[in-house]
Each structure stands twice: as C-alpha cells, then as structure tokens.
A and B are shown apart, each in its own frame.
Chain A
C-alpha cells in the first residue's frame, strides 16, 4: 500500500481534501451553529414576503412604539409598523449590499493580487505599494471620504464597500498565490506547456479557493459592519431603502420612546457579524491548523 505512486496518491487526495474541509468544518460545533444561523438569516430575509408576519408598509396608528408582544415580537415603529417585518425586509438590503460588495472585493482583489504575484518586478511592486497605501487608511474614514465624493445610496454603498475591501483582499490573494507558485503541481503544469490562463483557471484558482473563501466570509462580516456604521450616521443606505443600519438609525432617534426599536436591529447586526466571523475563523483553522 505504501508503494502507491505519488501521482495516483495526489489524484485521489485532491477531491477528498475539498470534501473534508466542509466536513471537518461542520464537526466544529461553533462553525456548524454559525453556518446554520447564516443559512436561516439568508432564507428568512430573501423570503421575507413569505416569513414576515405583516406587510412592511402596513401602518397602525393605534400602536405606535409598542413594546415586544406576541403579536409584534420586536415591537412596532413610529408608524406602528411591525419591527420584525421591517428587520426581515431590511435584511434584504443589508445582505444584498454585503454579498455584492464582497463579490466585488474578491474578484477585483484576486485579479489585483494574482497579477502582482505573477508579474514580479516593478509592476508587482507598484501594485502592492498602492494596496499598502490604501490599507494605510482606516476603513470607516476612507468610507466617509468616498461617500462624500460619490454620494450615498444602496448602489454607491456596494461600489464603495467593494473598493474599500479590495486592497486587503489583493494582499491575501498575492501571498496565497506566492505559496502555490512554489508547488510541484504548478511546475508540472508549466513544464507540460499549459498556457498561462489555463494554469490560473484550472490549477491555481481551485487550489487557492479555500483560503480565499475564508477571507470572503470575514469580508462579508466587515461589510455588514461598515454598511451599518455608515447608514447609522446617515451616510449609507438612504430612505426609502431600508437596511439594518437605517433601522438602527431610526430606532436610535426614537430611543426615548421605545427601547426595543434600536435594540433589535442592533442585535441582528451583532448576530450576523458574530456568526460570519466565527465561520470565517473556523474555516481558516480547518484549512491551516498551524496558524490557529
């Protein structure tokens, strides 16, 4: 058995590894719970029209700022609308911004980082220096500047947050790829004369994907956090669009009339960020036990 040739061995191990990352991840209780919570959050917000107990626009002027009750689990807002319903619908915007901005950051960051890794010399050097410079700015601050420059709306949030998290992703993509470039399978692919694009798409990308996925999960959490921060100070998603951040902002300005109004959107943001962070951390540990 031990005399199996390395080639066969590597072939058999490749699919098994990808499979076991998922399994090893779910064997960790914290990761399994987090994954379940994320799934539930996505399902109930995307299917808000199915799960929400009321219509998001149904006002009830006899029941303004109601505290939590069985009829209204999160209470009601300044127009007597059901807060749970609004949180579910608001989650659509928050998660849309989060996923779209993260996809933006990952695609742009990977392209940037891979180019820097593959084009060593002055191109790579310049690309990384620019990334360093952008990373030298605190995220919320650069976010504010970009909002000042390009305005605040749901669409501009996606682009601004995507841009904000691109440099850090580029740095990670580059360092991950540099490790892979020292591997034997890469040398093998080069030596059989595979084209550059093919090597990137068929060999390098699949092998860096686990690390990049872990990074993406953490970016999701950060995007939700920063979007909520900007919307909270009124410089993010703008009414009539509703996100968790704008709900929190409206709840905060009515703090003295209803405690539940700001608290529930706040707790939902906390929950989302917490489970995404936990999942991302566990993903990193599963894939690279030495770094945990």
Chain B
C-alpha cells in the first residue's frame, strides 16, 4: 500500500510540475506586453524608463527560466504573485473571492449528492419501468443541459417571476449567514443538477450490478432487512465507481463554477479568471490556473488512494 501511495505521489508531483511549466510557457508566448497595459498605454509611446522600472518590479526583465523558478518559489511560499493590472497581489484578489466560490462548490456538491444518491438507490431497489425511465431521462438531460441554460431558466422562473430568491451578486457568509445561503441557493442548484446527473450516470449502473451480485443474494438469503442489505452491502460496494466519479465531479465544479458565477454575477474565482483573460492580466491568470490544476491533481490523488484502500487489487496493477 505504501509503495502504491508513493508511486502515485511521485506521478502527481510530476504532473503538477509539467502543468506549471505548460501554464507558464503559454503565458510567455502570448503576443503583446502586459506591462504596456499596466502603464495605461495601447501604443508604443510609453516612457521607456517607466516601462523598464515596471518590468523590473514585476521581475519580467529576468530570463524565462529565472522567472519560472522565482514564480514557483513564491507560489510554494503561498505568495501567488502580483496582478499586472490592479495594484493588489493575487493573494488579496483571490482571497476576497474564495468564499463565494467555496460556498457555491460545497452547496452544489451537497445538492448534487442529495439528488443522485437517493434517486440511484430508489432506481436500483424498485425495478419500476416508469421510475427508471424518468431517472434515465433526468440523467441524460442533466448531462446535456448547459449550466447557463439552467441558470437562465431559474433566474426567469424563481428570481424574476416568483421573486423568491436573489438572482445576482453575493452576500458574504461572515456578514449575514442566512442572506449568504439565500444568494448562493440558485447558483448552487444550477451547478448541482449537473453534478447529480454525472454522479447518477456512474452510480446507477454499478448499483444494478451489485444488486445481482452473489454476496447480495447471500445477504438477502440470511434474512437481513432490505435497509441493511442496501446500507451495508450494496452502497459500499457500488461506491468504488462513485468515488472515481468524485474526480469527474470536481472537474465539473471547477469548469462549471466559471460559467455559473458569470450567469449570476457572483464575485468568485471564476469571474476573476474571466476578467483576467479580458484584461490580459497574466499574473492573476497563471496563478489561478495553476491553483485549479493543483486542486484537480490532488483530488485524483486522493481518489486513487481511497480506491487503493477499498479495492486491494488496484494497488498491484500498474499505474495506467
């Protein structure tokens, strides 16, 4: 097991390294000079001395490998670097917006699982044609429906027509917990439907497989209650593919949050990312993208280690 964990760790570190090089290089091949934007000029008639000063201040006068090393060293110390556009550091900018995104992601995950798990279990233990057709339909549409379409429909229906919930902006949790949850509910439902659909897509077939497995027949045969069979035997065994799905869910949350935050004008990391692309603020962009890549790789590392514990066969198999 330790060897398995060690091997996965090494792969992950290598992936983070390669990812950071890729992001960094992509930022350097971009045509145009971000420092000219910072000086407020669009043409080349900016003062060369001011330009040199700013380039020096941002560390852009060093060679590319030197820039990379100092960037990574700063990142490792928790310093995300400076915005090329505003006077704030990326740590400050991202810190202001982290709450809105975290709250959205957590709530969307809870909503998604609250829909997916009961629905999948119901579908597996009641082999009812109509019910299963409804569930399949929900999963198919839930995967295909773009998050912005759900968002727009919810804004029109619940926000504008019924006036039940706010449709724009965000109230921070520290200031007003109830108002904060209210402002997060619609975006979280929007994102949660996609999470539910992709989880169901994996959980349902594996529950059906488990339902026909011999150990479930044994459990039923020895007279366990239906509830005990489902809770103790079926769900744990069906959870292996579902944990794999956790990686997919995180991908969904990271990508989906960008769009959902935009739809609901939420000041989160996703909108910060989109703004930084618009403003050509590569300082912010490279830090945010690297963070997202790290979140993503760490998730898949945790998933693989969890799977290694649950299913010993995976440990001996070569890591893909």
Contacts and interface: CB of A to CB of B under 8 A. Distances in A.
Do A and B interact?
Answer: yes
Contact of B258 (A136, A144, A149, A266): A144
Contact of B144 (A136, A235, A273): A273
A277 interface: yes
A278 B139 CA distance: 11
Interface string B268-280: 0000011011101
A144 B152 contact: no
Nearest to A134: B22
Q: Which 9 A-B pairs have the closest CB atoms?
A: A140-B255, A266-B149, A274-B144, A273-B144, A138-B255, A148-B277, A138-B254, A133-B18, A149-B30
A248 to B, nearest CB: 7
Interface of A: 132-134, 136-141, 144-149, 221, 225, 228-229, 232-235, 248, 251-252, 255-256, 259, 262-263, 266-267, 269-270, 273-274, 277-278
Contact of B296 (A137, A146, A221): A137
Contacts of A266: 146, 148-149, 152-153
B259 interface: yes
Contacts of A273: 144-146
Contacts of B251: 138-139
A269 B282 contact: no
Contact of B29 (A147, A149, A235, A259): A149
Interface in B67-121: none
Nearest to A276: B144
A133 to B, nearest CB: 5
Interface in B129-184: 140-141, 143-149, 152-153, 155-156, 160
B146 A234 contact: no
A70 B274 CA distance: 39
A229 B259 contact: yes
B144 A144 contact: no
Nearest to B252: A138
A274 B274 CA distance: 27
Contact of B23 (A145, A235, A248): A145
Nearest to B320: A132
B156 A145 contact: no
Nearest to A171: B320
A247 to B, nearest CB: 12
B150 to A, nearest CB: 9
B166 to A, nearest CB: 14
B277 A235 contact: yes
Interface stretch (B38-46, B58-66, B285-293, B302-310): B285-293
Contacts of B155: 255
Contacts of B200: none
Contact of B254 (A141, A235, A251): A141
A141 B253 CA distance: 11
A273 B147 CA distance: 12
A269 B296 contact: no
Contacts of B30: 148-149
Nearest to B262: A233
Contact of B263 (A144, A252, A270): A252
Nearest to A235: B277
Given A141-B292, A144-B273, A232 B160 contact: no
Contacts of B297: 136
B27 interface: yes
